[in-house]
Amino acid sequence: MAEVALRNVVKRFEDVEAVHGINLDVADNDFVVLVGPSGCGKSTTLRMVAGLEEVTSGDIFIGGEIVNDVPPKDRDIAMVFQNYALYPHMTAFENMSFGLRLRKFPREEIKRRVDHAARILDITALLDRKPKALSGGQRQRVAMGRAIVRNPKVFLFDEPLSNLDAKLRVQMRTEIKRVHQMVKTTTIYVTHDQVEAMTLADRVVVMNNGSIEQIATPQELYHHPKTRFVAGFIGSPAMNFIRCWLQPSGGGLRVRISEAITLPVPSSRSPRYQSLTGKELILGLRPEHITEPRRGDGDADCEFAATLDVVEPMGMETMVFFRIDGQEICGRVDPGSAARPGDPMRLRANTEHMHLIDPATGSVL
């Protein structure tokens, strides 16, 4: 079993506390992604698990044993770095087998493991090439192969796709997910890219300023964020955040976003929001929940008019940007329904997917 657990882990660099007492459990064979903006502590956390950074306080467990004082080479982990870290004078085969040769594995076993990893990664034909004769994606496959042949307890990935172009990143995301499905090994993956996090992870750990904001499945993070930070970080384009007030209306509630525009609160939400009437709040609504009115939508009470500032055709959909009381808002509409910049457009907000956020604490209410 190769569970990884962090208990009240703190990391300080002189007077700066980079990681603030985090707790995390990674189950055996789980694929967990640490995601967050630059400087949030995700790479530092990964390096502490790897043993490349000392823990200031707290404990790290791998396979049920505390590894705080265990050297990296004895933790039975394999790490894939952003810059590949391949030896330029060695072939792909030699790079992949280097760790096994250091450990005096038999030649036949080395060849068997390298050939097996090469087949998984589809690089069998590249084993005689040196890194300079490989593309970025091929080099990353070799780096992954070097980790796979180790058959470690835990794989650690530190932003492995950051140096690749956009198309190759998509291909390698798929490759990494496919490899994990074939080689069931506990994996911790660090990225600043929320799309990578959402597509790869069994569970996502969203970090901010050295703390964990939320741990959840990708779907739960997207649909049920606990904080404004998580709601805004997960999803592209980002969630709209609009100043609003709740007001009673005929036994229910309405959310007012301007003098001219109020939207009905779903009746299922009214008891939950009843105590918030009259307070200034933030309405969170994703762009896909602001669309053109469509047949069968029903309640026309959710419709409003807006003058478009920017129209961005995306092929199968069009992004429209407009302002309400000076606040820029983004919607996703059908390409055939989009007006031109400067034209008025009728839009509809699906408040079934609304979030209300406390502006003081950033908590989703």
pLDDT tens digits for range 179-220: 888 888 999 999 999 999 999 999 999 999 999 999 999 999
Residue 315 within a domain: yes
Residues 42, 102 within the same domain: yes
Helix axes 136-148, 107-121, angle to 10 degrees: 130
In the predicted model, is pLDDT for residue 36 greater than 80? yes
Number of domains in the chain: 2
Average model confidence (pLDDT) across the chain: 92
Cα–Cα nearest to 291, from 238, 331, 242: 331
Give the CATH number of the domain where residue 307 resides.
2.40.50.140
- What's the domain range around 316? 240-357
- pLDDT tier at 251, thresholds 50, 70, 90: confident
Query: Would you say residue 363 lies in a domain?
Result: no
With a cut of 90, say whether residue 319 has pLDDT above it.
yes
- 117 and 63 share a domain? yes
Same domain flag for 212 and 121:
yes
281 and 358 Cβ atoms separated by less than 8 Å: yes
- Whether residues 123 and 247 fall in one domain: no
Q: With a cut of 70, say whether residue 297 has pLDDT above it.
A: no
What's the rounded mean pLDDT across residues 320-340? 91
pLDDT of residue 184: 86
Task: Note whether 186 and 106 are same-domain residues.
Answer: yes
- Domain co-membership, 248 together with 214: no
Residue type, 165: D
Q: Is residue 210 domain-shared with residue 245, that is, in the same domain?
A: no
- Pick from 32-36, 154-158, 178-182, 326-330: least confident: 178-182
| Phi/psi at 180 (5° precision) | -65, -35
pLDDT tens, 128-160?
Answer: 999 999 998 899 889 999 999 988 999 999 998
Q: Are residues 96 and 130 in the same domain?
A: yes
Q: Do 267 and 305 share a structural domain?
A: yes
User: Per-residue pLDDT for 296 more than 70?
Assistant: no
